[in-house]
Amino acid sequence: MLKQVTRLFDPIVDPAESAQPSRIALWNQLPYYLKDLTLGGPLSENRANRIENVKPSRSKKAGRAKDKGDALPTVADAAGEEATDGAPRLQELKKDVLQHFRKWQTAVHRRIGEISVKKGPEAQPRQFGQSPFGPKRRPSPNKRGKLSGPKVPPAQVPTVEADPVLAQVYPPTPTTLSSLGVEKRCLLLHCLLLLLLSLEHYNAHTRVLLLNLASSLQLPARILAEEEIRVGGALSQVAKTLPPDLLTQKKTEDGKPARKWKAALASMANAAVGGAGGSLAEPLMAAGIGSLPGTAAGAGIPATAAVGLLGPMADNALFVGALFAVYGARANGKMMEHYLRDVCDFAFIPLRGATGPHSEMGKIAAENRRLRVVLGISGWLTNKTDSIADHWQCLGEQTEVYAVRWELEALVKLGSSFETLVRSAAWSRAKKEIMARTSEPRSSFPAQAALSANQQGPVFANLVDGRWPESLLKISKIVDNSWNNGMVRADKLGAALADVIMGKAQGERGVSLIGYSLGARAIYACLMCLAERRAFGLVENAVMMGTPAPSEPTAWCAMKSVVSGRLVNVYSENDYILGFLYRTSSIDYGLAGLQQVTGVDGIENVDVTAKISLHPRYRFLIGSILRHIGWEDTDREQIARDEAEMSFYEDRNRKHEERRNTIEWGETEIKKGSEPGVIRTRMRKKNKK
């Protein structure tokens, strides 16, 4: 894992640089601290006037970030920050990343070193020169030279196939442990899960370590997911029995928590959960912790050993409550009320197990709690009756999924403007004109980020050249206002999400972020804020689809530093709407939704050009794209329903276009009873002329 962290900051030689002018190639070979971006760099033209990619400002001290980091910078502040500071210094970021990782690594090594293996009472000390396996005995061969004795049938060992996607994302490390039986390998993975939970958290680094172990043991990811569900269900039952009066931490007069009172509170919580003895071992052992499901009786490790592996988690019920964000729930509610001032309608909607109209994470039934949290962020809404939670029903039950509700009115306006634009005649003609320009020569030399991308798509060529059909520019006001407003709101949402994640509203668990369109823009802003505040180990995975954000390697390197697992960029070269809407922003740094991100190790670029020809398609193909990239948990039935809904949506638009062509050009003959009277009337007027 340490190599994966350090390899992120290593320079990658792009083969496209050989075809670039010598000035640009020399600029790219310079170290970052020698690049003065305020001087004549190849990307510095008009840079101060474009503030699209400026990250939210923050204070120098991390402790004051919550007070001053919410406000977005003004135009003057952004220009000054661009001229003086520039992009984040990667060397300083690398130093902070390694420091945080080594701190977590040291804690894991210390916890593993505390394990002691004692021999049973039947073990006798062996003499000098004696083999540890006992005296050697040669079996007596029979007449044919084979071993004598009764024939014993071979044991039926269950076979488990390795996961090719897991082996590709997390390459396995050669180890002799992979030759063990399936049951022993699964038990080893289960024991390490209990051991890592004893660190009182289950952050992103811990999850990635277990995935690397599963890959090295040649176990599929579903084995780890099943163990997480079983162990998380047992711990959630413990957190369920915590009395409500014990969930609020009392403080002394000076505002500091009382240590003696906290110890008494922990003993009261343990007594309420485990009985008079104050132990949590009984409810945990009732769930089968320490053994594998479906194995014979006595298989696994003893109950006392399992409790010892869990450590504080088996002795203190408050630690279990803090893991699932049950302890301190009132503070989370006040936190959400604070963010509602900047982001309207901000809430987390659970997909399963909701216990009431609550907007905080963790307000779900105990049987639906998981060790992993997934946040789905939508980019727009079709109408007022469209539910945000319906967009993310394609995610399975292995994780605790929440749909982020934000700015409902702005999202509805944007969705309505998309519908009007797609069904307009100007857009239909403009799309044909853009495709006809594909074979034409470029009118201007593109920027550096444009050269490193695939230029086969016609959208990015028009975006760089600045040539858009005149008919399309006339109706641009239909979507420009809604889009620009949504971009500003998405940046505010990203800053709020960063504060929520840093405030541990999800508990001591890692978070995965999935979003499309403006939702992906919010993820971009969130990850950049986390990188500025050096909040590592909180985000496990991030999947960004059709992202209206730059593809500059420096920015994505900073984003990858706070994502311990997978950072996926899903793009389409034929996304006409995204390219048209992004034309007023800075394209010198590229566009991630139209091209791949190059020059950064660990970024997964997924080309969905064959599936995405229009930006609204992302809404229906979330599950299909997640299944394509090898996401661990998806609902196949819901994916099929979403694809059927997309087919209905496109059929309706196609019929509307056919009727419009009939009215304008009179291509087909209209029957009397087939369509409304307005079409027949216009056809008659045209025939009279």
Instruction: Give the tens place of pLDDT for each residue, 468-496.
Output: 788 888 888 889 999 999 999 999 999 99
For residue 190, name the pLDDT band (cuts at 50, 70, 90): very high
Of 119-128, 260-269, 273-282, least confident by mean pLDDT is: 260-269
Q: Choose the final residue of a domain: 47, 66, 84.
A: 84
> What pLDDT was estimated at residue 360?
67
Average pLDDT over the chain reads: 75
Reference 378, options 287, 280, 490, 273; nearest CA is: 490
Please give the single-letter amino acid code of residue 119: K
> What pLDDT was estimated at residue 135?
52
Q: Residue 168 — φ and ψ, nearest 5°?
A: -75, -40
> What pLDDT was estimated at residue 654?
86
Number of alpha carbons in the 13 Å side-chain half-sphere of residue 644: 6
**Is the same domain home to 505 and 654?**
no
> What pLDDT was estimated at residue 202?
94
pLDDT one-digit tens code per residue, 20-38: 443 444 344 444 443 444 3
**Is the same domain home to 339 and 487?**
yes
> What pLDDT was estimated at residue 496?
94
**Is the same domain home to 265 and 345?**
no
**Per-residue tokens: 565:** 């697992």
Q: Is 448 inside any structural domain?
A: no
- Per-residue pLDDT at 433 exceeds 80: no
What is the share, in percent, of the chain residues with pLDDT greater than 90?
39
**Is the same domain home to 284 and 376?**
no
- Per-residue pLDDT at 97 exceeds 70: yes
**Is the same domain home to 627 and 667?**
no
Q: Residue 565 — φ and ψ, nearest 5°?
A: -100, -120
* Most distant CA atoms of the chain, gap in Å: 115
Give the number of domains in the chain: 4
- Asked if 373 contacts 407 with a C-beta cutoff of 8 angstroms, the reply is no
**Is the same domain home to 198 and 243?**
yes
pLDDT one-digit tens code per residue, 539-555: 999 999 999 999 999 99
> What pLDDT was estimated at residue 244?
53
Q: Choose the final residue of a domain: 305, 323, 341.
A: 323
> What pLDDT was estimated at residue 125?
52
Q: What is the mean pLDDT of residues 134-140?
A: 51
Q: Is 117 inside any structural domain?
A: no
Q: Is 433 inside any structural domain?
A: no
Q: Is 332 inside any structural domain?
A: yes
- Per-residue pLDDT at 229 exceeds 90: yes
Of 40-54, 368-382, 422-436, 608-622, least confident by mean pLDDT is: 40-54
Cα 569 to Cα 354, 516, 542: the distances in Å are: 31, 10, 9
**Is the same domain home to 295 and 393?**
no
Q: Choose the final residue of a domain: 84, 107, 131.
A: 84
- Per-residue pLDDT at 192 exceeds 60: yes
pLDDT one-digit tens code per residue, 46-73: 444 444 444 444 444 444 444 444 444 4
Q: Give the C-alpha separation, 107 to 603, whole Å.
A: 28
**360-363 contacts at long range (C-beta below 8 A, 24 or more positions apart):** 360/325, 360/329, 360/332, 360/333, 360/336, 360/505, 361/325, 361/332, 361/402, 361/505, 361/506, 361/507, 362/324, 362/325, 362/326, 362/329, 362/332, 362/505, 362/506, 362/507, 363/329
Q: Give the C-alpha separation, 280 to 269, whole Å.
A: 10
DSSP 410-423: HHHHHHHHHHHHHT
**Is the same domain home to 406 and 543?**
yes
The CATH code of the domain that includes 377 is 3.40.50
Q: Give the C-alpha separation, 354 to 367, whole Å.
A: 11
Higher pLDDT, 85 or 665: 665
**Is the same domain home to 332 and 300?**
no
Q: Is 603 inside any structural domain?
A: yes
Alpha helices in 151-256 (DSSP H): 164-169, 182-197, 204-216, 221-240
**Is the same domain home to 165 and 278?**
yes
Q: 108-117, 374-383, 574-583 — which one is most confidently predicted on average?
A: 374-383
Helix (H) or strand (E) holding 664: helix 636-665
Of 283-297, 338-352, 600-614, 642-656, least confident by mean pLDDT is: 283-297
Q: Give the C-alpha separation, 623 to 634, whole Å.
A: 7
For residue 332, name the pLDDT band (cuts at 50, 70, 90): low
**Per-residue tokens: 460:** 């990015």
> What pLDDT was estimated at residue 513?
98
Q: Is 296 inside any structural domain?
A: yes
**Is the same domain home to 410 and 530?**
yes
Q: Is 551 inside any structural domain?
A: yes
Cα 433 to Cα 576, 583, 587: the distances in Å are: 12, 17, 22
Domain with 664, as residue range(s), is 647-688
- Asked if 365 contacts 355 with a C-beta cutoff of 8 angstroms, the reply is yes
Q: Is 439 inside any structural domain?
A: no
> What pLDDT was estimated at residue 331?
57
pLDDT one-digit tens code per residue, 338-390: 777 788 889 999 998 877 666 667 778 888 899 999 999 999 998 888 889 99
**Is the same domain home to 318 and 343?**
no
Q: Give the C-alpha separation, 21 to 446, whole Å.
A: 12
Q: Does pTM surpass 0.85?
A: no
> What pLDDT was estimated at residue 665?
67
